[in-house]
Structure 1
């Protein structure tokens, strides 16, 4: 058990800083208001854009949109500014002369003249989407070139540098999955990638997208490959929006689903629902070689994971007033699983075959799931970026599973052995957090907040062997595993930023309480540790087309449930993966230097990075009586040095390319049970995608991937190359969309793992194979149709 003590004075200092921030509201606020009307008809102009710009630098300060009656109101703390008003089909109007009285500017009735030439244009001058560097993130501001096209949030994301969205809706950042998507800085069921919930958000509702590749102390220290934060406009267009869809596929991948979104002045109501059936076949092969006795155990088989599923999501945003928004949403899902498998085993030695048998499995499971979210966001009157946000989330996943295993001898020595297992699993997670942001001036900003996460897991696992005509409990494999983890984090950051450069520094303190217990044998493990997670970010704008960003952060990987759970599935009882209740977390110091630059029609992002990780979690294989046991252990350190570059290039309106290349060199140092694991190696990966706009509103997308082989602590992981293909047809300007997809066109996404040790060798092979999918969807409201995929969560 490791315990780190933090002096109470640091906690007191944090609390004082947080409380002081709440009192810093000394800036004078100027309110600019007016009413927009058409010059010819005197009718109101709703949803027009009103911008407040710096009179000297011409940079955007803040903005708003007019309501249904053409009325607008926008607040700013700046004193030297001008007003710019624009809307498609009207001439842009600039107002530089106005009267300031009692911190108020009333512009009265403002007439907008029709721009007959602009009516046929899609892009409005001065409102083209562009990327802006911030201290710890990049901000993609959505301009009229995208927001006026009626496409979905996924299409907006696909225009963001470093982000790629394939035809199936999978989002990747710098070529990696596992991206966390936030809505207005918070998790939301609308950001759920397992459905088409993002289809309820259209481009005209989005203000900007924030890209965070190296999170600051504001975010929890254990994270994902990156964060995408979608910022919605304050004044969203009202009305109905949604889609319905139906899909089929080979192997089985059938689903129907839909989403509906209704926006009014006070409420935003949304729902998403679906049902379907899918199967996930997998070909497997394994070989265990005992170099001491000369015996070999080989197996080859096919596994399935068939699933019938249902889910529904309901939620609402309630705008109490201009400064307070409440969100309440919930989701319920139910899955019925069937997992048949058949594996043929053979045991041989130097003289030939000893035995050959088949092991069959029949598994049934029911999985109920639920989650909810409550969020309150308060905006202070002096500045729309001065906010307090409070969030409470809960989720639960349960599994009631039973399995029957039957061994039947085909040749040689009789090895018949029947077993059955039963699993009663339940996991409940709760998250409570508060975040406060205060832009004290145009240049200085402070942030502070806290988060408390509760994880509560129970896994009751029972194994029975068929002996003398009846099933008898195997006490060595039966137990109830309880896992409880509580993480409390508090943070504070401060930032300075001007038009050229800026710096942001922060500190996060996290305390982790972890306990595991095997209730049958009373084996317990408890850990309590407190750690500091500092972060520093800076940026420098060299020119309009070239900027640099540098950052440092400290991260943690806490062992997951299945890393800790010491019990295993006995589907293949010669290749067993077990957990380690004594596993410690690993810590990483991450350094990154990033640049974004434009060369003609191409935009490129490149990074140099270094990561140094201690107590690295690695799976170590041991061998006993021809059985391989794989168990995670903390093995020394890993120093990684890498280069990554990604970009987008559109040589023509109908053709675009996006790609990612990542190379890293690593140095491993460590030992385990008197075995030295010091070595070094390298690995690289590449992805290249091409999108072609064909005649008759057809879109073709091809994506190629390559992952190199690399050395592991006991052997090698093989490389592979693969390709995905997608074809999409838009009908009635995108109101109906047909999708055809082929994943792993050449069935080449093969996973092979080798372990080579002095006394034994193992080989593992797995292949999911080629998948065909076809879907039709219909969209109503403002946006395009979005396919409901029903992907596994």
Structure 2
């Protein structure tokens, strides 16, 4: 622990080194800000230097603990403005410069509650409101004038968190679908952090949807965040370049550009890097009938080199029509080594055999995606729109693995195996959405979507017979999976100033087929379903609003759930798929409130979810070998509470807490055995952000995940912390950043399967990741972080 504190102090010390350069024509401004009532110093008051010609800010700073400040400017003509929330603002026009210095002395400002009230009434302060099935965060002047990026603005939205690496989560869960102006965009694509090129003055509002209506896919997600940009987009060039290095091996470089003209908005991002993911692994297979067991201890490291390129453009035909074309290309080179020692013990706990299993896996992964969209607005009604889109995603993997078993104890035979995978996947989506408001308070939405998923996986496992490798026909096949989903929806809504109601229904027709070519085993499924939804909200006051919602959701088994391919990394612990798997269906009910008390904003939600045909992994055990595959087993009823609170006591300190608790009841039978049980699960995350003098930002994130049980397993609890720090230099155009994931190397993955006839334990740990980055922004954009993280 002492070493950890020393490490944090070292980080702060390193980041405290200021760059000092001597420049001609620099004016140094000093002074001290105090209160009028008692003469006490005001910490974190804002001192701004602005252009006298266009009244735009040039540079600024905040006062330190004793109320003093110092800043520099090279502008020839400027004004100085001193302000603090709840106090009058003082302005100094054409200040007197003596020998390149301005000393304002002691500046006294007094409280002005009337001015503060006027700001709130005029809607200049950012605030959150309910609107039927969504929460809306309106970006006020307090944020839009800061020059911050979209990622920083998202951090001010209740229940939304963006860590220092740019990963976005909603109510503590990742996997959020990001939209720009109501449609997918390369700018918001998870392949990079291009949101850093959007500045706060471009954003009108941010919409958060936690229980999607019938307008959206019935497939469940953790939520939707839609960033609505102002129509009066400013022209210019935004961009950033970032260089990262880290331990373990983590090096990347990223470049982002965004160019806006009268007709075009051109955006691009390029990244190149290399990362290593080490892991320590342990397994135990224990036969409780004869008390024999097999254990393994090993290490692995996955090395990835990647290249990523995003290109796109918005073409504004006129004020009412825009066409968007974008594309993404990525290529990954993978090489993975693993080395594990397997030992066999008899009932007397005496070792009988041991061998060392080594693996070398190589793979190449090309990825392509494209998107074509057309959006039409209608004159006279900004809410009326037509959106047409076509998207495609293509992914391939060419992978081969060599396995070698070398006997180290006992009379076992050495063995060699090989596996290969030739995989390809293509996903296409075609959409049409139309929104038509009428009579001011009513809105109709309708649309359709057609989605195609096409997969082919040619896999084989070969054994060495002493002279050559021979394919094992029982473990070699070509798996084909095709899924087509047609969806049609309609919603209608009424909304007044205080109350609203939205009802909708979605119809989806699913056509799914799988085929194992070598054995000619096929499985076809065709089903169609209605997915109703209903949402209502009521505003009791500016500080209290309620929202209730219902939707029916579906989980369709994914390719890896269906694919019967065997992973033979550990021949005693095998995972496979199930081509006969059926979809899950969930009825989701949710009641949520927004409540504000002073500087605290809270979201409290209660939910109930009823799921049928629950997909769970079932383990079968024979000859000390466990085989895990997914099955549909019974129903699940879950009741829970989701709580989020954000407390910002000052403009330099904030706390965010996400808390989730659920109690579930399982009912099901499999192979004549009852699997009825009850359980609890909870998790919490506490985020502390500090804005220190000299443009330091610190971030501490503590995570805790309780233990919980599944059908057969007990999942161990988890407690770990992440740390981030950054410092702005060169007037905010450059950023130095440090990220430490899993500071105390305490994050683990452990599952225990304790059944009447067998006991299994699976444990893995990756350890601490440290990354240092330097980012430089140019044009109107701030510097941004390009994490260079892996994206699947």
1:568 Cα deviation after fit: 1.9
Provide the aligned C-alpha RMSD in A.
1.6
Whole-Å Cα distance in 1 between the matches of residues 590 and 156 of structure 2? 24
Tell me what 1:229 maps to.
226
Aligned-partner SS, 2:154:
helix
The question of 1:271 aligning with 2:272 is answered no
1:223 Cα deviation after fit: 2.7
1:678 corresponds, among 670, 676, 679, to 676
1:536 Cα deviation after fit: 0.3
1:781 Cα deviation after fit: 1.5
Tell me what 1:622 maps to.
620
Question: What does residue range 30-41 of structure 1 map to in structure 2 within 5 Å?
Answer: none
1:124 Cα deviation after fit: 11
Question: What does residue range 190-205 of structure 1 map to in structure 2 within 5 Å?
Answer: 190-205=187-202
Tell me what 1:211 maps to.
208
1:45 Cα deviation after fit: 11
1:315 Cα deviation after fit: 0.5
1:122 Cα deviation after fit: 11
1:451 Cα deviation after fit: 0.4
1:714 Cα deviation after fit: 1.3
1:145 Cα deviation after fit: 1.0
Whole-Å Cα distance in 2 between the matches of residues 331 and 223 of structure 1? 25
CA deviation string 1:195-251 (max 9, x = no partner): 121112111111111000000000000031000001111110100001001001111
1:540 Cα deviation after fit: 0.5
CA deviation string 1:320-374 (max 9, x = no partner): 0011000000011111110111111011112411111110011111111100000
Indicate if the aligned counterparts of 1:244 and 1:777 stay in contact, CA closer than 8 A: yes
The question of 1:385 aligning with 2:383 is answered yes
Whole-Å Cα distance in 2 between the matches of residues 364 and 560 of structure 1? 24
TM-score by length of 1: 0.84
1:708 corresponds, among 698, 701, 706, to 706
CA deviation string 1:113-160 (max 9, x = no partner): xxxxx9xx9999532211121000011111111111111110111111
CA deviation string 1:675-709 (max 9, x = no partner): 11001011110110100112211111000010001
1:260 corresponds, among 248, 257, 264, to 257
Tell me what 1:113 maps to.
none
Indicate if the aligned counterparts of 2:243 and 2:254 stay in contact, CA closer than 8 A: yes
Unaligned runs of 5+ in 1: 1-42, 47-88, 90-117
Tell me what 2:299 maps to.
302
Tell me what 1:179 maps to.
176
Whole-Å Cα distance in 2 between the matches of residues 124 and 592 of structure 1? 32
Indicate if the aligned counterparts of 1:123 and 1:145 stay in contact, CA closer than 8 A: no
Question: What does residue range 566-645 of structure 1 map to in structure 2 within 5 Å?
Answer: 566-645=564-643
Tell me what 2:496 maps to.
498
Tell me what 2:95 maps to.
none
CA deviation string 1:551-584 (max 9, x = no partner): 0000000001110001122111110000000000
Indicate if the aligned counterparts of 1:297 and 1:346 stay in contact, CA closer than 8 A: yes
Whole-Å Cα distance in 2 between the matches of residues 125 and 503 of structure 1? 27
2:157 corresponds, among 160, 170, 179, to 160
1:742 corresponds, among 713, 732, 740, to 740
Indicate if the aligned counterparts of 1:691 and 1:700 stay in contact, CA closer than 8 A: yes
1:422 Cα deviation after fit: 1.2
Indicate if the aligned counterparts of 1:122 and 1:148 stay in contact, CA closer than 8 A: no
Aligned-partner SS, 1:762:
strand
Aligned-partner SS, 2:307:
strand
Indicate if the aligned counterparts of 2:698 and 2:726 stay in contact, CA closer than 8 A: yes
Whole-Å Cα distance in 1 between the matches of residues 119 and 571 of structure 2? 63
The question of 1:145 aligning with 2:113 is answered no
Question: What does residue range 726-741 of structure 1 map to in structure 2 within 5 Å?
Answer: 726-741=724-739
1:788 Cα deviation after fit: 1.1
1:193 Cα deviation after fit: 2.9
Aligned-partner SS, 1:414:
coil
Aligned-partner SS, 1:145:
helix
Moved over 2 A (4+): 43-46, 121-126
1:44 Cα deviation after fit: 11
Tell me what 1:452 maps to.
450
1:696 corresponds, among 671, 694, 697, to 694
CA deviation string 1:369-398 (max 9, x = no partner): 100000000001130110000010001000
Tell me what 1:651 maps to.
649
Indicate if the aligned counterparts of 2:398 and 2:423 stay in contact, CA closer than 8 A: yes
Tell me what 1:407 maps to.
405
CA deviation string 1:260-300 (max 9, x = no partner): 01000100011100101001111111000011122101011
Tell me what 1:57 maps to.
none
1:791 corresponds, among 781, 789, 792, to 789
550-559 vs 689-698, which moves further: 689-698
1:170 corresponds, among 167, 171, 176, to 167
> Alpha carbons of 1:307 and 1:124: their partners in 2 closer, same or farther (altered >3 Å)?
farther
Whole-Å Cα distance in 2 between the matches of residues 703 and 200 of structure 1? 25
Indicate if the aligned counterparts of 2:165 and 2:786 stay in contact, CA closer than 8 A: no
1:401 Cα deviation after fit: 0.8
Indicate if the aligned counterparts of 2:132 and 2:547 stay in contact, CA closer than 8 A: yes
CA deviation string 1:706-752 (max 9, x = no partner): 00011221131110111000011111232100110110111111111
Question: What does residue range 439-518 of structure 1 map to in structure 2 within 5 Å?
Answer: 439-518=437-516
Indicate if the aligned counterparts of 2:266 and 2:314 stay in contact, CA closer than 8 A: yes
Q: How many residues align?
A: 679
Whole-Å Cα distance in 1 between the matches of residues 216 and 145 of structure 2? 33
1:441 Cα deviation after fit: 2.2
Aligned-partner SS, 2:473:
coil
The question of 1:320 aligning with 2:329 is answered no
Aligned-partner SS, 1:151:
coil
Indicate if the aligned counterparts of 2:269 and 2:310 stay in contact, CA closer than 8 A: yes
Whole-Å Cα distance in 2 between the matches of residues 316 and 451 of structure 1? 23
Tell me what 2:352 maps to.
354
Unaligned runs of 5+ in 2: 1-52, 57-90, 92-114
Aligned-partner SS, 2:381:
coil
Whole-Å Cα distance in 2 between the matches of residues 361 and 639 of structure 1? 42
2:247 corresponds, among 238, 245, 250, to 250
Aligned-partner SS, 1:452:
strand
211-220 vs 360-369, which moves further: 360-369
Tell me what 1:83 maps to.
none
1:194 Cα deviation after fit: 3.2
495-504 vs 564-573, which moves further: 564-573
> Alpha carbons of 1:347 and 1:122: their partners in 2 closer, same or farther (altered >3 Å)?
farther
Indicate if the aligned counterparts of 1:222 and 1:556 stay in contact, CA closer than 8 A: yes
Indicate if the aligned counterparts of 2:197 and 2:782 stay in contact, CA closer than 8 A: no
Whole-Å Cα distance in 2 between the matches of residues 684 and 210 of structure 1? 27
CA deviation string 1:147-197 (max 9, x = no partner): 111111101111111101111111110011111111111111100233121
Indicate if the aligned counterparts of 1:123 and 1:144 stay in contact, CA closer than 8 A: no
Tell me what 2:39 maps to.
none
Indicate if the aligned counterparts of 2:119 and 2:125 stay in contact, CA closer than 8 A: no
Aligned-partner SS, 2:143:
helix
Aligned-partner SS, 1:154:
helix
Indicate if the aligned counterparts of 2:196 and 2:783 stay in contact, CA closer than 8 A: yes
Tell me what 1:661 maps to.
659
TM-score by length of 2: 0.84
Aligned-partner SS, 2:579:
coil
Whole-Å Cα distance in 2 between the matches of residues 775 and 124 of structure 1? 41
Indicate if the aligned counterparts of 1:194 and 1:789 stay in contact, CA closer than 8 A: no
